[in-house]
C-alpha cells in the first residue's frame, strides 16, 4: 500500500475517532453542566443555553483548526478559544463530581477530547503538502564590453542587477526604499 493511501486512511480513521470522542465528551459535559446549573438554582433557559455555548465554542474551534487553508494566526486563535472552552468544561465537570472517582470520570472526557484534537491536528498538518520550493534563478548572462567612445575607455555592461531584499509593510505591500527612489530617478533622467 502506498504512503499516500496509508496517510489518507490514517486521517479518515483519526477524524472518525475524534468525532466519536467529541460526541461523547459533548453529551457528558453538556448534561453535567446543565444539572450543575439547575442544582444551583439557574432558570431552565440558562441551564440549557450556557452549556450549549461551551459545546458550540468547542465545535466551532475544532472546525477552524481542521479547515485547510486557514492562516496560522486564526488557527492559534481557535486553539485559544478551544482551550478556554475546555477549561470551563473541566472546572464545571470537576465541581459536579461528588468524589474523586466521579471527578476524574467527568474530567476525563474533556481532557481526552482536547488531546485527541491535538493529535488529529498534527496528523492533518503532516498530511498538508509542503510548499513548493522556488525555481532556481536562470543563469545570468556574462558581462559584455560595450564599444569604447572615441578616445574613451571600454565600458562593462552587466545584465545582472544585484538583488535586494524587499521590505513589506503591515498589509504585505512592498515598501520603496530611498535608494530605489534615487535609482528610479536616475533611470528616468538617463531615458530622457
CA distance 16 to 125: 17
Q: Are 167 and 177 in contact (CB under 8 A)?
A: yes
Domain of residue 76, CATH code: 1.20.1440
Is 151 part of any domain?
A: no
Count of domains observed in the chain: 1
- Quote the pLDDT of residue 44: 94
In-domain check, residue 144:
no
Q: Which cell goes with 10? A: 490514517
Q: Is residue 136 part of a domain?
A: no
147 vs 127: CA distance, rounded Å: 58
Question: Does 88 fall in a domain?
Answer: yes
Q: Give the model confidence (pLDDT) of 140-151 as tens digits.
A: 555 555 566 666
In a domain, 22, yes or no: yes
162 inside domain: no
- How confident is the model at residue 147, as a pLDDT? 61
Residues 6+ apart with CB under 8 A from 44: 38
- Domain residue limits at 66: 6-127
pTM given for the model: 0.56
Give every residue of the chain whose pLDDT is below 50, as ranges: 130-136
Question: Would residue 135 count as lying in a domain?
Answer: no
Amino acid at each position: 500500500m502506498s504512503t499516500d493511501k496509508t496517510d489518507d486512511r490514517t486521517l479518515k480513521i483519526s477524524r472518525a475517532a475524534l468525532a466519536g470522542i467529541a460526541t461523547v465528551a459533548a453529551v457528558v459535559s453538556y448534561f453535567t453542566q446543565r444539572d450543575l446549573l439547575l442544582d444551583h438554582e439557574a432558570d431552565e433557559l440558562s441551564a440549557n443555553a450556557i452549556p450549549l455555548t461551551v459545546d458550540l465554542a468547542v465545535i466551532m474551534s475544532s472546525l477552524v483548526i481542521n479547515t485547510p487553508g486557514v492562516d496560522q494566526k486564526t488557527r492559534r486563535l481557535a486553539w485559544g478559544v478551544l482551550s478556554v472552552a475546555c477549561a470551563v468544561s473541566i472546572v464545571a465537570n470537576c465541581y459536579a463530581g461528588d468524589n474523586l472517582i466521579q471527578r476524574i470520570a467527568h474530567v476525563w472526557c474533556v481532557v481526552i477530547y482536547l488531546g485527541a484534537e491535538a493529535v488529529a491536528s498534527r496528523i492533518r498538518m503532516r498530511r498538508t503538502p509542503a510548499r513548493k520550493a522556488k525555481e532556481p534563478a536562470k543563469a545570468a548572462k556574462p558581462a559584455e564590453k560595450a564599444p569604447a567612445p572615441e578616445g574613451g575607455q571600454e565600458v562593462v555592461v552587466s545584465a545582472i542587477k544585484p538583488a535586494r531584499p524587499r521590505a513589506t509593510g503591515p498589509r504585505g505591500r512592498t515598501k520603496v526604499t530611498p535608494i530605489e527612489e534615487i535609482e528610479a530617478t536616475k533611470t528616468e533622467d538617463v531615458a530622457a
